[in-house]
Structure 1
C-alpha cells in the first residue's frame, strides 16, 4: 500500500505525482508579473509582514482538528475491532464442549474473527496515515515570501531536506487549485493557491499550498493578488491582515480556532451552547496532534535573510496589535484579549516592534521628506 508523503498534511496532489497537470491547472495558471484580479484579499493567513518578508500559513493549519478527530475515531474503531476479534479467537479456550458442539458455532467464530481482524486492520491503516503525516512532526508549516532574495521558503517536515526553496520568477508554476469537499448532496467547491514543481517532461514532482482554502474562484484570485503585489510592489498599499496567527498556540487559542466555524460570536444564542461540546471535542483533538509535535526551526541563513529592517514602519504585528483569534463577538477582541495584548506589549517593544502610532508617524515623516 502506497501512502502519501509526509510533506503535506492533506496530500491533494498525491495522485498527481509523476503525471502531467490537468486541464484545470493549465487554464488557471497564475503569473508573477500579471495581475489576476482588481481586488486584494487577506483572509487570515499571516504570521508577520514587513518590507523584507511575508510569513503565512499553509492550508492545513486551520483544520488540524479534523485530522485529529479522524485519528481518534479510527483508533477507537480499530481498538474495538481488535478486542472483538481477540475475544472470539479465545472463545474456544473459554467455552464449554457443549457450546462448541452447537450448530454454527465454529462458522460464526471464524467469520467473526476474520471480520474483527480485517476491520481492525482497515481502521488501523486509516488511523496510521493521518498520525504519520500530522503527529510527531511540526506544529505548523510556515511559508516565507522574501522580497530581497526573490524566493519562497516553505518548511514541510523536520527531516533533512524538509525546507523547500522556490524562486519567484516567471518560470515557476503557480495556479488556482480546485477541490470538491464533502459528498453527495452536501458537496461543495473549495479553491486554493498552489505551487507545482515540474520535471523536464512537465510531470509533477511536488507541490504545496500558500494560505488557506477559500469558497470562490474570485476569492482565490484576490488572495493570490495579495501575495503577488507584496512580492512585486512591497507592503505599502496592501490591506491590513485580517488577523495574525499566534506562532505558539495554547489550548485556549486552539479552542477559539475550532469554535470559529460553529459560533455566531460569544455565548449569546442557544445554538452556540449546543455546539460548545463539539468545539471542545475538536479542540481536544487539535491539542492531541499539536502536543506531539515540535516548533519549526528556520536555518540561520534563512533567518538572517528574512530579518526585518530596524524601525520598519511596515513591520507588523505592531506592539499594540492583537495576535491570535479574538474571543469576542463578531471576531473582535474581548476585554480579556485586550488585557493580554497590553501585558505582551512591553515585551514586544523590547524586541523592536513599533506601536501603530509610531509607525504612522514614521511614515508621515518619510513622506514629508520625499516631497
Structure 2
C-alpha cells in the first residue's frame, strides 16, 4: 500500500513550501538528542561495510533500480474492499436480470400478473444496490487505488552516469521525477547505534528546484522518497545507504552486484512470502521459535493476506520508465565500455 507516498502528497497540498521546510527541519531533531546528525551530503561515508538489503530489481554499470518499503504492505484493502465491490456488483446484476425477466414476461415466479408494488420492488432493489455501490466507491476507491488498478510498484533508479535519481511513480502519487544526486539529503542519523536505531528504510529528501518532471518543469516543493525494504537494525540501515552511495560515488566495484535480484513477476509464492514476513533467522535460534509458532497459529490470516497481495499485483500494471530515461547514460561509447544497459547476470 502506498500509504507513505499518499500521506506525503496529501501533506504537500496542506502545507506551503515554507511550512513544509519548517516541518522537515523539526524532524531533524529527536527527543533527548540535540540534533539529528545527518550525513553532510552524498560524499560522506556512513559505514565501513556495504549491504544491498535484498532490495535491487536491476543492477548494471550504468544504474541500479531499488524497491521501496511498500512491496509487502498491500493486499488487505484489495481483498476486503474488492470483495465488497464484487458482491455488490454481483447482487446488482442478479437482481437486474430477475427484474428484466419479470418485466418482459409481466408475471411473477408463480405465474400471477405483476402488480404495481411488484414493479416498484423490482425497480427499487437494483437501483438501491447501484446507489450503495456508488457511495461505497466514492469514499473507498481512493484507498483501493493505493493497492490495485495502479502501478504494481514504485522504483527508484540511481544512474551513476547522468548523476540523477529517477522516481518512477503513478501520477496520483507525484509522477515521474528526475532529481539531482548531488543535492540529495538523507534523513538518517549517521551516528546511530543498535541501541538508538532499530533499522527502518532510507528516506531521501530534495529541496525545491532540485529536480524536474518529464516536461522539464522544476519542482516547486520538497520531494521525498522511501528506499529499500525495512532493515532490521541500525547497522543494516547505514550499510544499505552506504551501498547506494558507493555505487554512485565510487562505481560498481565498490558496491558489488547482489547475488540475486528481485523478481518483478507476480508469482503467488512471492506474495505468500511477503505476507508471511518471517525472518529466516528465527529458524536458526531456538529462543526465537515462539515467533514461528505464532505465525503458524495465524496462518489463515496470512493466507488471506497473501491472496489479497497476489490479487493486488494481478490488478496492477508493471510500470516502465520512458525511453529517454531508459537510455539515459547509455551512449554508444558508454554502452560499449560498460557492456550496455543490461542487468548483470543473477
Q: What does residue range 113-192 of structure 1 map to in structure 2 within 5 Å? A: 125=139, 127-158=140-171, 162-169=175-182, 171-176=183-188, 191-192=200-201
In 2, Cα distance between equivalents of 1:315 and 1:47: 12
Query: C-alpha offsets along residues 221-274 of structure 1, whole Å, 9 cap, x if unaligned?
Result: 211101000000111132552641112222233223323427767xx9876654
Match of 1:193 in 2: 202
- C-alpha distance 248-303 of structure 1, shift in aligned 2 (>3 A): same
The answer to whether the 8 A contact 1:44-1:244 is kept is yes
Structure 2: gaps spanning 5 or more residues: 30-35, 88-134, 190-196, 210-219, 284-288
The answer to whether the 8 A contact 1:58-1:141 is kept is yes
- C-alpha distance 281-241 of structure 1, shift in aligned 2 (>3 A): same
Q: What does residue range 175-324 of structure 1 map to in structure 2 within 5 Å? A: 175-176=187-188, 191-199=200-208, 205-241=222-258, 243-261=260-278, 274-305=297-328, 309=335, 312=339, 316-318=343-345, 321=346
> What is the deviation of 1:7?
9.3
- C-alpha distance 218-312 of structure 1, shift in aligned 2 (>3 A): same
Structure 1: gaps spanning 5 or more residues: 1-5, 81-120, 178-187, 322-371
- C-alpha distance 46-32 of structure 1, shift in aligned 2 (>3 A): same
Higher relative contact order (CA 8 A, sep 6+): 2
In 2, Cα distance between equivalents of 1:69 and 1:7: 13
In 2, Cα distance between equivalents of 1:239 and 1:224: 14
The answer to whether the 8 A contact 1:28-1:175 is kept is no
> What is the deviation of 1:8?
5.2
TM-score under structure 2 normalisation? Answer: 0.61
In 1, Cα distance between equivalents of 2:137 and 2:198: 28
RMSD: 4.2
